[in-house]
Amino acid sequence: IPETATSRESQSTFFGASSGNWTEKTKHRVVQKVKEYHWKVYVSYKLKVYKGNDPSTALELQSRHASTVLITSGGQATARRGPQANKPVPPIAEKTIHPATEVHLTWLLQQLQSPGGTAQFAIDRSVASCRTPRRNTQIQAAYEYHQSLVHWMLVVLNFFLDRMEKDIMAKHNPAKIQDPQQRLDIG
C-alpha cells in the first residue's frame, strides 16, 4: 500500500505573551494510505488472408500477443455478493472477443501480372464507357477498392485507439501521492 506521511509542528503562546510563561506545542501527523489493485491484461490479434469464402483455409500473415499491468486505486464499488463480495470489480471484462474485420483483396490481386507478381493497371480507352481519364470503369473500380481498403484500415486503427487506449489504458490509475504540505490545512 503506497503511503505518505508528513509532520507539522506549530508553537503558540498563551494570550500572545512573548515572555514564554506558557507555551503549547502541537504536533500533527497525517498519513495517507491508498490501496492499489494490479490487473494483468492480455491482448492479442491476428492478421490473416484466405481464399474465397472459407476462413478455415486462412494463412496467418502476422500476429501479436502482448500484456500489460493496469493499476487501479481506491475504494471501487463491488457488485459482487457472497464470498467474492470484498474483492474489487475488474476495470475491464475478463474476456472480450471482437468480430473479425474483413476487406476483399480481389481487385488488388487481379492487378498482379505473372511472372514476378508486379502490379499492372491500365485504362482501356477503346471502350465506349471511357469518357475521360477520370470517368471510366477501371478508375471507378480502383477508387471503390481503395475506399473499401481505407475503411478497413480506419476500423482497425480505431480499434487500437478506442479499445486499447481509451477502454483499457485509460483505466490505468495508480495512486498519485501528492505533496502533503499542499493539502494539509490545520489552521
pLDDT of residue 186: 41
Over residues 75-79, the mean pLDDT reads: 54
90 part of a folded domain: no
pLDDT at residue 149 in the model: 97
Q: State the cell numbers at 41.
A: 491484461
Instruction: Identify residue 17 by its one-letter amino acid code.
Output: A
Q: Could you tell me if residue 143 is inside a domain?
A: yes
* Grid cell of 101 as nine digits: 474485420
- Kindly state whether residue 132 falls inside one of the protein's structural domains: yes
121 assigned to some structural domain: yes
Instruction: Kindly tell me the number of DSSP H helices and DSSP E strands found in the chain.
Output: 3, 6
Which of 101, 105, 39, 31 is CA-nearest to residue 76? 39
The total number of structural domains in the chain stands at 1
Task: Name the β-bridge partners of 12.
Answer: 24
- Rounded Cα distance between 123 and 131, Å, is 11
Q: Is 112 a domain residue?
A: yes
Parent domain of 118: 3-14+28-80+104-180
Query: Is pLDDT at 144 greater than 90 in this prediction?
Result: yes
Q: How many CB atoms lie within 10 A of CB 163?
A: 15
The arithmetic mean of pLDDT across residues 128-145, rounded, is 86
Residue 148 — pLDDT band, cuts 50, 70, 90? very high
**pLDDT reading at 65 higher than 70:** yes
- Taking the CA atoms of residue 121, residue 108, residue 137 and residue 139 in that order, the dihedral angle to the nearest 10 degrees is -60
pTM here? Answer: 0.64
Decide if 33 is inside a domain: yes
Query: Is 145 inside any structural domain?
Result: yes
111 is a domain residue: yes
At 35, the pLDDT band (50, 70, 90 cuts) reads confident
**Residue 135 banded pLDDT, cuts 50, 70, 90:** confident
Residues composing the chain: 187
Q: What is the average pLDDT value for the chain, to the nearest integer? A: 79
